[in-house]
Amino acid sequence: MSPQEPVIAKPKDASGSRPAVSTPTRRQYWTTLRAMLSPQRFSLREEQFFLLLAVLIGILSGLAVVCFRLLIDFLHLKLLGSGLQPSVPRVFLAPMLAGLVIAFLVIRFFPRARGSGVNQTKAALYIYDGYIPMSTVVGKFLTSALAIGSGQSLGPEDPALQIGAGLASALGRRLKLSREKLRLIAPVGAAAGLAAAFNAPITAVLFVIEEVIGRWTAGILGAVVLSAISSAVVERWFLGDEPLFRVPAYHLEHWGELGAYASLGVIGGFASLIFVKYIAYLRPKLRQYPNWTQYFQPAAAGLLIGFIGIRFPQVMGAGYSYMDQAMHEQYTWQILAVLGALKILTTGLSFGSGTPGGLFAPTLFMGAMIGGAVGMAERQIVPYLAIPVGAYALVGMGTLFAGILRAPMTSVFMILEVSGNYSMIVPVILSNAIAYFISRTFQPTPIFDLLSRQDGLDLPSLEEEREVPLLRVEDAMRPPVGQTLTGSMTLLDAQQKVQGSAQEFFVVGMGEDEWSGISRANLLETPADSELDIPLSVVLTRRIPYLHPDHPLDTALRLMGEWPLLPVVHRANVQQLLGVVSLDDVMRAYRGAGLHENHAEPAAVVP
């Protein structure tokens, strides 16, 4: 018996005495136990370890984001007081003085804390091999909390995303992960941070896939989902599982309502456009000023915001409670429109001045206000529709999210997730699609790409990548014309068949879903007379890979190897040859030529 095998007591025999077996000693017990608990037994493959790590990252990020939100509330209370309408001195002084402190901290200690967390996570993924310094996490945590808590018009989601990514990066470095995994770990943390900040794991997963990673791959998807879920669980554990907004009941009752939502899409689209153009103009403009002015720019922005905040305190900070109020018809449409416009102004000031903080919450705020205003105005114009204003405000959020952040999938699912109301799906999709289309038409560069280019980073534009048409095998293949060869033909028959052909290589249908190939020169080599009646299937022992028309063209490149020609076959019937593709064909397709050329060269065989 090997030491690892457990010792089993054997049954007594008929006489009641035990059979003659050796009784395990104490040492054997210990040996067995040690073997059961040995590290080798628990060792994980890197993929499994990565998933476990994603859970740990989710928990850590969740904890960090909960503390971040508590710090924002604490600072808000201390700086602006407990009332919804802060006193005038506080409104003036708090954002301005906080702006001075923030500028000092950012310029002197945490230079990478300014700017978009999304872009910095993308930079970590594409440029810095997953590296986000811990000082950036600390800096983002402190300066963003101070900015939002003091009333700067910014949101906590983007910093939370970067805090999550930074924690993940730090943990990955400590664990000495491979370069590939270290690169991917930052988006995993980003999803966790965003999920905890939004209390919406699906939204976080989609956003990270759509905007940071840019592609769906099974390897990363599992980790992103796990980290987002564990982070959201931690957040809900501490702060409760209430959704962000109390959404009034809504059902689509009249198809005319879709017209109303379409008009919201148009208005939201142009509002998004104004905001993005404003940021695109203001940010570089403020950076042109001498360096010393950057110490005062957040304070100046804070002063202006404070001035606005005396009359409209709603525009200060993230403003989630006011979005809730807008959804419950607590403002007139005129006030809602003014709040939407002022939020565009104040967020531009805060963000343009380099104050750390995110654009998610302000985007939702603008959407809620503009949506509410449109809803109330439409209610007066078309009273028979009687759509609740809350529904407009909610759809407005998604509309501005799609128009400004240009994440159309995320914008739809975000609204469904934060509202928990799937009857909104048609209006949300319609309005978001219109806003997205308007924004893309008049502002081809998405805001995150715009910001990264302003910062001198050439990060891949995932929206642009999505727009690049994917080349497929069908774009390069040639039709199957010419002589046909099959595995059942004898060498003599095959020689006679190719005799008059100018073709250099022939694919051969071998039957049984297999293909092979033979060059003209090899085929015409004169063998001994006795071998001419051997079937091709006996001679051709190597199999040639085949393609389907819908395969991406790079698949053809990877499979091509030493074969000059690959068969393209039908998916339902692999024996049916649809065409052939050569390296030249592939290159021609990539160069944008030859897709519609008439290839006269005959090709292959239909078995």
Partner 1 sequence: MVLAVTLLLIIAGFALTQYLVNLHRDTESSLAQRWSTRGQQAMQAQMPAAAADCYRTALSYDPDNGQYRLHLAQALLADNRLAEARAHLNSLWEEEPADGEVNLTLAHLYVRRGDYSKAVRYYSNAINGVWNEEPRAHRIATGFELANFLLQQHQLAQAQAELVAIQADGPANPADQLLLGNLLLQVHEPQRAIQAFDAVLQRQPDSAQAWLGKAQASLVLADYKEAEHAAAIAADRDPKLDGAQQQLDVVRELLRLDPALRGLSLAERSRRTAEAFELAMKRIDGCATQQGITLTSQNASAATQSGGAGASSESPATDQLQRRYRAGVQKQSSATEQALRKDPDAIEPTMQFVFDVEKATAAICPVTDKSDRALLLLAQHEGGR
**Residue 512 burial (10 A CB sphere; 0-12, 13-18, 19+):** exposed
By CB under 8 A, is residue 329 in contact with partner 1? Answer: yes
By CB under 8 A, is residue 249 in contact with partner 1? Answer: yes
By CB under 8 A, is residue 596 in contact with partner 1? Answer: no
Q: Which tokens hold the place of 88? A: 């005038």
Beta bridge partner(s), residue 509: 486, 515
By CB under 8 A, is residue 321 in contact with partner 1? Answer: yes
Can you tell me the distance from the alpha carbon of 189 to that of 60, in angstroms, rounded to the nearest whole number?
9
Minimum distance from CB of 47 to partner 1 (Å)? 16
End-to-end CA distance of the chain: 59
Exactly one of 13, 73, 464, 513 binds partner 1 (CB under 8 A); which one?
A: 73
The interface mask with partner 1, positions 158-177, x = CB under 8 A, is -------------x--xx--
Shorter beta-carbon distance to partner 1: residue 16 or 83: 83
Minimum distance from CB of 173 to partner 1 (Å)? 10
Shorter beta-carbon distance to partner 1: residue 60 or 589: 60
By CB under 8 A, is residue 87 in contact with partner 1? Answer: no
Shorter beta-carbon distance to partner 1: residue 57 or 364: 57
**Sign of the C-alpha dihedral computed for residues 424, 426, 427 and 433 taken in this order:** positive
By CB under 8 A, is residue 595 in contact with partner 1? Answer: no
**Residue 506 burial (10 A CB sphere; 0-12, 13-18, 19+):** buried
Q: Which of 376, 366, 374, 385 is nearest to 258 (CA)?
A: 385
By CB under 8 A, is residue 74 in contact with partner 1? Answer: yes
Shorter beta-carbon distance to partner 1: residue 244 or 305: 244
Exactly one of 7, 35, 63, 93 binds partner 1 (CB under 8 A); which one?
A: 63
| Residues within window 265-294 making contact with partner 1, judged by CB under 8 A | none
Minimum distance from CB of 190 to partner 1 (Å)? 18
Shorter beta-carbon distance to partner 1: residue 68 or 92: 68
Can you tell me the distance from the alpha carbon of 372 to that of 368, in angstroms, rounded to the nearest whole number?
6
Shorter beta-carbon distance to partner 1: residue 344 or 376: 376
Exactly one of 7, 59, 93, 286 binds partner 1 (CB under 8 A); which one?
A: 59
Angle at CA 419, nearest 5°, toward 414 and 425? 70
| Residues within window 220-239 making contact with partner 1, judged by CB under 8 A | 238-239
The string over 190-209, giving b where at least 16 C-beta atoms fall within 10 Å of a residue's C-beta and e elsewhere, is bbbbbbbbbbbbbbbbbbbb
Q: Which of 373, 307, 374, 380 is nearest to 345 (CA)?
A: 307
Can you tell me the distance from the alpha carbon of 451 to that of 282, in angstroms, rounded to the nearest whole number?
12
Amino acid at 259: G
Minimum distance from CB of 237 to partner 1 (Å)? 9
Q: With contact defined as beta carbons under 8 Å apart, do 422 and 428 qualify? A: no
Q: Which of 17, 338, 364, 32 is nearest to 203 (CA)?
A: 364
Name every residue whose Cβ is closer than 8 Å to that of residue 272 and which is 6 or more positions away in sequence: 399, 400, 402, 403, 404, 435, 438, 439
Exactly one of 10, 34, 246, 251 binds partner 1 (CB under 8 A); which one?
A: 246
By CB under 8 A, is residue 1 in contact with partner 1? Answer: no
Binding segment for partner 1 (CB under 8 A), chosen from 280-288, 324-332, 414-422, 434-442, is 324-332
Q: With contact defined as beta carbons under 8 Å apart, do 272 and 438 qualify? A: yes
Binding segment for partner 1 (CB under 8 A), chosen from 11-19, 125-133, 293-301, 328-336, is 328-336
Distances (CA, A) of 317 to 306, 403, 404, 501: 11, 22, 19, 77
Other beta carbons within 10 Å of 418: 20
By CB under 8 A, is residue 83 in contact with partner 1? Answer: yes
Can you tell me the distance from the alpha carbon of 266 to that of 257, in angstroms, rounded to the nearest whole number?
14
**Helical ranges in 312-359 per DSSP H:** 320-327, 333-352
Shorter beta-carbon distance to partner 1: residue 30 or 74: 74
Q: With contact defined as beta carbons under 8 Å apart, do 540 and 489 qualify? A: no
Q: With contact defined as beta carbons under 8 Å apart, do 160 and 194 qualify? A: yes
Q: With contact defined as beta carbons under 8 Å apart, do 298 and 151 qualify? A: no
Q: With contact defined as beta carbons under 8 Å apart, do 277 and 446 qualify? A: no
Amino acid at 252: L
Exactly one of 1, 33, 36, 84 binds partner 1 (CB under 8 A); which one?
A: 84
Binding segment for partner 1 (CB under 8 A), chosen from 1-9, 61-69, 516-524, 581-589, is 61-69
Beta bridge partner(s), residue 567: 580
Shorter beta-carbon distance to partner 1: residue 84 or 502: 84
Beta bridge partner(s), residue 358: 155
The interface mask with partner 1, positions 451-480, x = CB under 8 A, is ------------------------------
Exactly one of 17, 22, 82, 380 binds partner 1 (CB under 8 A); which one?
A: 82
Shorter beta-carbon distance to partner 1: residue 57 or 485: 57
Exactly one of 4, 25, 85, 522 binds partner 1 (CB under 8 A); which one?
A: 85
By CB under 8 A, is residue 496 in contact with partner 1? Answer: no
Shorter beta-carbon distance to partner 1: residue 84 or 310: 84
Minimum distance from CB of 135 to partner 1 (Å)? 18
Binding segment for partner 1 (CB under 8 A), chosen from 193-201, 244-252, 423-431, 562-570, is 244-252
Exactly one of 7, 24, 32, 67 binds partner 1 (CB under 8 A); which one?
A: 67
Exactly one of 21, 36, 70, 593 binds partner 1 (CB under 8 A); which one?
A: 70
Shorter beta-carbon distance to partner 1: residue 59 or 583: 59
Number of residues counted as binding partner 1 (CB under 8 A): 29
The string over 366-380, giving b where at least 16 C-beta atoms fall within 10 Å of a residue's C-beta and e elsewhere, is bbbbbbbbbbbbbbe
Minimum distance from CB of 77 to partner 1 (Å)? 7
Other beta carbons within 10 Å of 230: 23
Minimum distance from CB of 242 to partner 1 (Å)? 7
Q: Which residues bind partner 1 (CB under 8 A)?
A: 56, 59-60, 63-64, 66-67, 70, 73-74, 77, 82-85, 171, 174-175, 238-239, 242, 246, 248-249, 321, 324, 328-330
